[in-house]
Amino acid sequence: MPPPANAPPTVVISPNPKPEPPPVPVEEIIRRFTQNEDAMFAAHGTFGYHRTIRVQELDINGKTTGELLISTDIARAPDGRFYEKGEKHPDSTLKVLDLDYDHMDTLEKIPPLPFTTPEIAKYDFVYAGTQKLDELNTYIFQVHPKQVDRQHAYFEGVIWVDDQDFVIVKTTGRWETELGDVATPQFPFKIFDTYRENVEGKIWFPDYVRSDEYVTTKSGPVNVRLTVRWENYKPLSALPRPSPN
């Protein structure tokens, strides 16, 4: 489902003021995708994965002029516990962004499966019609937080819900608190396109995130791009135990 590497980010759409009513009542669609979100949230902690975070600075032709790459795996320790294991990469070549691993904490404020039963009451959902998304037929909803605070990040944007399995397959929007967007001068990304991958059955986990921003410099604006990929989802029980040596 991820778009081509050079595809522009999806813009947040405006809902049709009078969309045709869906064949399933809107309240029932929301109830079903919330139930599925609960099940996927419970399953998410039982899966391992490989995650790659890439931040690029691009010239006017889209060529990479600086890059930071961070890759991690879920690994099993000798005592049987699981932890996130980082891979060694070349040093950052970023010239505009003063960004390192510590600044990636912003990503941890964005929940992978945000619309579970405890969270759903914090949002208003506006049905916006249907759309073909690759091979999927989807229902579209605009999502607005009812209120925000300083401690938690809330989603403002659009979600796409598969009309057969009633699972969220894509989201586009921003995460915000009472103080504004979840962004910093070092981590300026605000609008995120998130695609999900079918792992098994009705379980869909995030597998691709992209965000594009422009940073002002003395030489003019510079396009900076964030991409995050999750790959090789597998049950943690399937991960090998390390050798005693």
242 within some domain: no
Arithmetic mean of pLDDT, 53-57: 95
> Does residue 10 lie in a domain region?
no
pLDDT digits (tens, 9 = 90+) for 182-200: 888 889 999 999 999 999 8
Taking the C-alpha atoms of residue 184 and residue 64, their distance in angstroms, rounded to an integer, is: 22
Residue-number span of the structural domain to which 170 is assigned: 26-232
Question: Residue 70 has what pLDDT?
Answer: 92
Q: How confident is the model at residue 158 (pLDDT cuts 50, 70, 90)?
A: very high
Instruction: Report whether 157 contacts 176 (CB < 8 A).
Output: no
* Domain assignment of residue 7, yes or no: no
Element (H, E) at 29: helix 26-44
Average pLDDT estimate for 71-97: 83
Bridge partners of 173, per DSSP, are 157, 192
Query: What contacts 210, CB < 8 A, 6 or more positions away?
Result: 3, 9, 192, 193, 225, 226, 227, 228
Question: Residue 211's closest CA among 192, 183, 185?
Answer: 192
**pLDDT tops 70 at residue 46:** yes
β-bridge mates for residue 37, sequence order: none
Region 55-61: mean pLDDT is 94
pLDDT > 60? residue 5 = no
Residue, of 215 and 105, whose pLDDT is higher: 215
Q: Does the pTM of the predicted model rise above 0.75?
A: yes
Is 64 within a domain?
A: yes
Q: Are 92 and 100 in contact (CB under 8 A)?
A: yes
Tell me what pLDDT residue 58 has: 96
Could you report the per-residue pLDDT of 192-244, keeping only the tens digit for each? 999 999 998 889 999 999 999 999 999 889 999 999 999 999 888 876 666 65
Q: How many domains does the chain have?
A: 1
3 state SS of 175: strand
Tell whether 195 is covered by a domain: yes
Say if 9 falls within a structural domain: no
CA separation for the pair 34, 37 (Å, rounded): 5
Q: Is residue 18 part of a domain?
A: no
| Nearest in space to 90 (alpha carbons), one of 51, 144, 37, 54 | 54
Q: Is 19 within the bounds of a domain?
A: no
Pair 242, 78: CB distance under 8 Å: yes
